[in-house]
Structure 1
Amino acid sequence: MIETKQQAAHSKLLVSRHQDDHLAINQCAIKLPNGTRLSDLNQLTLQAGQHTLISGQSGIGKSTLMKTIAGIWPFSEGNIELAERSLFLPQKPYLPTGTLREVLCYPNVDINISDQDIEQLLSDCQLAHFSHKLDDTEQWSHTMSPGEQQRVAIVRALILKPTWLFLDEATSSLDEETESYLYQLLASRLPDTTLVSIAHRSKVAHYHQYRLHAQGSKGQVSWQFSPIQGL
C-alpha cells in the first residue's frame, strides 16, 4: 500500500491517502479552533459503494467533520484513512484564475479529455452557454452565479472520476429539481464512485444507502451509522 500523509504543524490530526478503496475514521475528536470539543467519532469504516448521507441539525458539526476528513481542519484530532483518488466539493467551489478548461479540470489540468467531451458535460450540467468559452480566462468566481459555480464543480467531478466524492452542501444553491437531476447524473455516470454527502433536502437521501447522523448538543454529540430505511 502506497500512502501519502498530510499533517498540519502542531496538529494531532493525521490523514493518510492510500490505494485501498475505503474510508476509515479512528479515535477522532472534532474540535473548534479554541479547543472546544464538538463530538467524538471513535471508529467508522465505510467500504466502497456505501453511499452515505451525513445528517443532523445545523451547527452540530457536519461540515467540520467533512473538513476533518479532508485534512483541512487541523484543530481536530485522530487518524483518517481515505482513498488516494478522493475529491471534495465544498459549498463554495474553488475556481482558480485560468481558462475555463483549466477550471473544469482542476487540479488535474493535464487530463486527457477532448473539447467535445467537455462541451457535452457542460450541456449535461446545464452550462451549455459556457461551451464557447473554454479558452477564455476570467475571474470565474466573479462572473458565475453560485449555482453555476456548483454545477462547474459537478462537471469537474464527472471529468476527474474520483473513487470517492465528498459533497459538503455542494448543491445547496440549486433548486430541488436540478439538485436531484445532478445527483442522478453522478450516480449514472460514476457507478464506481462512492458518494458521501451533506445536504438538507430530503430527496438527496434517495442517492445514498446509509446515514451518519449527529444528534445531541455541542460537546455531547453522538454519531449513529445505519441503513437508510424506506428507500
Structure 2
Amino acid sequence: MKASKTRITDVFRVFWNASSWFSTLILGTILIFALGELIVGNYSGLYPSKLMKYITKKDTKQFGHDLYIYAFFLVGSVLILGIKLWLCDRLSIRFRDKLVQQIHKDYMTGNSFYDLLMYDTHIDNPDGRITQDIENYGETSIKVIVAAAQSPLIIAYYSYSTFKDMGLNSLLITLLFTTVSFFATRFAMSPIVRLTYKFEAANADFRTAHVNLKENAETIALSRGQSAEEKLLSDRLASVLSVQKQLSNTSIILNIVVNICQYFGNALVYLCIYICAPATEDPSILAEFTGRVSFEVIMLISGITSLMNVINDFSKLSGYSTRIQELLSILREQAEHVNINKFGNSFVLENATVMRPSGDSLINDLNLTVRPGESLFIVGPSGAGKSSLFRVLGGIWPIKSGKVTIPEEKTMILTQRPYVPRNATLEEAIAFPKELNEVDLFEIQNTLRLLKIEHLKLRDDEDWWVGLSPGEQQRVAIARILVHRPTFALLDEATSAIPSKLEEEIFKVLAQKDITCITIAHNKELRKWHKNVLELTGNGRYSIY
C-alpha cells in the first residue's frame, strides 16, 4: 500500500477513534472554561484603564474599591487558565492512551507487526507513528479546538469594541497590520522549518551512532575499531553542528521580523489612539480611554493571530492524522499475508512454493510432513531457502502457492541469536512467554545445571543478562525449550555457539523429552538425532531421505 496524501478527513477519523464519552465530557468542560477565560479576562483587562482614571483623579476610595475587584478577576483568570490547561493535558493523555492501546492491540495480534515491517515498505517508521505522531496529535488537536472556539469570539467582540470606540479607520489599520505581520513572519519562518527538520534528522543520526557504539562495544573493542568509530562520531557531530549553525544564521532574519512586528504593534496602538482620541482635556478621561482601547487593539491582534495560527496548526494536525489513520487502516484491513493454517497437529506442506518477499521462488512444489517423533534435519547450500522455509514453518513467511498447516500452539522456535528478555529475572526469562508461576522452578534449576549456566544465578536479578556470551544466550534459550517441553522445536543454528560435547547432550535430552526437532545446523554430527533429512539443492529443487 502506498503512503496516502494528507487528508483533512483523517483528522475527524482519528478524533473519532480517540474519543470516548468521558473524553467528550472533558472537552466540553474545557470549552466552558475557555469561554469563562474570555469573559473573566475581558473584565480583568478593562479594569487597569479604570484604575488609571482614578489615579489621575486621585479618587482613593473608588481606586481601592476597584483594585479589590481587579484582584478578584485576576485570581479568577489564573484559576480558570490553570484548570483549563490541566484539563487539556489530561485530555491529551486520554487521546494518546486510547489510540496507542488500539494500535498496540492490532499491532501485536498474530504477526501483524512482522507483516507490516516486512511487507509494507511504504509505511515508514511505524514506531515513530505510534510514539511521536500520536503524542503530537493529542497536543495539537486540543490546541486547535480551543483556539478555533476562542478566536472567532475574540475577533468578533473586539472588532465591535474597536469599531465602537475608535471608528472604522482604526479597525481597518489594525486588521491590515496584523495580516501583514502574520504573513511576513510566516515567510521568514519557512526556511527555519526546513532546517529544523534537517537538524532533527542529523541529531537522530548522531544519536543512532552512539546507540550502535553502546550495543557493539565489545565487538568494536576486540576489532580495534576505536579510531574508525571516533571518525564516524566526529563526522555525525560535524553534520549536526553544520545544520545548527545554518539554523542560527537563518534565525537572525526571523528575530528581526518578529521584533519589528512587536515594536511597531505597540506604536500602532498609539497611532490609533491619536486618530480617535476624544476631544477633551480631562486627563482622567484620556487615561481611561487610552487603557481601554489599548487593551481592545491588543486583544483583536491576538485573536486574529491565534486564528491564523489555527490554520497552520491544522495543517500539521492533518499530517499527523493521515499517518495515524494510515497505520490504523492497514492494521485493521490488510489481507492476511501468511496463508497458513496454524491449528494442525503436524507440519504439513502440500505443493508449497516458498518465496522471498520480493516474489522470487526459492523452493517449488514442496510436499513435506513432519509428525511428532519424526525429527527433520534440513541441509543445503547458502541461498537455497533453508531460513526462508524455517520462517514458513514458523508461521511468519508467505508462500507463493500451495497449502501449509502448522501446529503453532505446540511449537517453540529458536534462532542463532535468541531473544532474551531484559526486563526479567533469569527464571522469568526461561519461563517466557509464560508467567513464572506457570512453570516448575525445580525443573529450571535442574536445567541450569545440565546446561552449565547455574553461575548466572549468582548475578544480580536486574542485570544478569549483561555481558552474556553468544553461547550463554543460546543455552538460556535452550533451557526455555527443555522446561516448556513443546511437541516441536524449530532450531535454526540454535546451538552453533555451544561446545560440541554439550551440544550432543542437548539433543540427547531433547529426544528423551519427546521433543521433535526441525533443525538447521552446519554441524553434520547432529544428523543422527533426526529421523529424516530434507536437502535443498538449489534452483527450487529438493529431496527427502
Normalised by the length of structure 2, the TM-score is 0.37
How far the C-alpha of 1:171 sits from its partner, in A, is: 0.7
Aligned residues: 215
Deviations 1:203-225 (A, max 9, x none): 10010010011013xxx221211
Calculate the aligned-residue CA RMSD, in Å: 2.4
2:448 counterpart residue number: 122
Map 1:1-231 onto structure 2 (within 5 A). 8=115, 9-10=334-335, 12-18=337-343, 20-74=344-398, 77-83=401-407, 84-97=409-422, 98-133=424-459, 136-138=461-463, 140=465, 142-188=466-512, 190-191=513-514, 193-216=515-538, 220-226=539-545
Deviations 1:122-158 (A, max 9, x none): 010111101345x712372x52111001111110001
Letter in 2 for 1:160: H
Q: Is the 8 A contact 1:11 1:74 kept in 2?
A: no
Q: Secondary structure at the match of 1:53?
A: strand
Letter in 1 for 2:463: E
Residue identity over aligned pairs, in percent, reads: 30
User: Larger helix proportion, structure 1 or 2?
Assistant: 2
Normalised by the length of structure 1, the TM-score is 0.83
Q: Secondary structure at the match of 2:339?
A: strand
Q: Secondary structure at the match of 2:474?
A: helix
Q: Cα–Cα, structure 1 residues 12 and 40, in superposed 2: closer, same or farther, change >3 Å?
A: farther
Q: Which has the larger radius of gyration?
A: 2
Letter in 2 for 1:168: D
Q: Is the 8 A contact 2:355 2:363 kept in 1?
A: yes
Q: Is the 8 A contact 2:430 2:480 kept in 1?
A: yes
How far the C-alpha of 1:68 sits from its partner, in A, is: 1.2
Q: Is the 8 A contact 1:11 1:75 kept in 2?
A: no
In structure 1, the gaps of 5 or more residues are 227-231
Letter in 2 for 1:23: F
Q: Cα–Cα, structure 1 residues 71 and 120, in superposed 2: closer, same or farther, change >3 Å?
A: same
Q: Is the 8 A contact 2:354 2:389 kept in 1?
A: yes
Letter in 1 for 2:542: W
How far the C-alpha of 1:75 sits from its partner, in A, is: 6.7
Q: Secondary structure at the match of 1:197?
A: strand
Q: Is the 8 A contact 2:390 2:492 kept in 1?
A: yes
In structure 2, the gaps of 5 or more residues are 1-109, 116-333
Relative contact order, higher structure (CA 8 A, sep 6+):
1
Using the alignment, how far apart are the partners of 1:95 and 1:184 within structure 2?
Answer: 24
Using the alignment, how far apart are the partners of 2:439 and 2:355 within structure 1?
Answer: 41
Q: Secondary structure at the match of 2:542?
A: strand
Deviations 1:83-136 (A, max 9, x none): 221111111101112221111111112453343331221010111101345x71
Q: Secondary structure at the match of 1:138?
A: coil
Q: Is the 8 A contact 2:377 2:532 kept in 1?
A: yes
Q: Is the 8 A contact 2:431 2:439 kept in 1?
A: no
Letter in 2 for 1:205: R
Using the alignment, how far apart are the partners of 2:391 and 2:406 within structure 1?
Answer: 13
Q: Secondary structure at the match of 2:527?
A: helix
Using the alignment, how far apart are the partners of 2:352 and 2:381 within structure 1?
Answer: 20
1:229 counterpart residue number: none
Using the alignment, how far apart are the partners of 2:391 and 2:379 within structure 1?
Answer: 15
Using the alignment, how far apart are the partners of 1:72 and 1:139 within structure 2?
Answer: 31
User: Larger strand proportion, structure 1 or 2?
Assistant: 1
